[in-house]
């Protein structure tokens, strides 16, 4: 997968990401780019933590600083 910086979410724009989205997560940019290039570590975003916390993106039981949007959640029909 080619890295597209417009798909990167940080503490600043976290609220723009929808819960249920498929994301690749990491705690630093180098790690995020590596996982995106491999297309691995795709997880479902469970929740977004409040602004006072540095690790805002929650997948399963882990929290991360950065999230890369792979796909938005499918809408119920």
17 contacts 24 by C-beta, under 8 angstroms:
no
* 34-45: pLDDT as tens digits: 999 999 999 999
Task: Collapse the DSSP code of 46 into the 3-class scheme (helix H, G, I; strand E, B; otherwise coil) and give the result.
Answer: strand
Q: Which of 12, 13, 8, 11 is nearest to 24 (CA)?
A: 8
pLDDT classification of 76: cutoffs 50, 70, 90? low
pLDDT classification of 2: cutoffs 50, 70, 90? very high
Please check the confidence at residue 13 and state whether its pLDDT lies above 90. Answer: yes
């Amino acid at each position: 997968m080619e890295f597209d910086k417009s798909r990167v979410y940080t503490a600043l724009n976290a609220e723009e990401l929808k819960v249920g989205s498929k994301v690749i997560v990491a705690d630093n940019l180098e790690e995020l780019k590596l996982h995106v290039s491999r297309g691995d570590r795709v997880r479902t975003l469970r929740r977004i933590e409040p602004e006072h916390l540095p690790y805002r993106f929650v997948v399963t039981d882990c929290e991360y600083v950065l999230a890369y949007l792979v796909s938005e959640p499918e809408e119920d029909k």
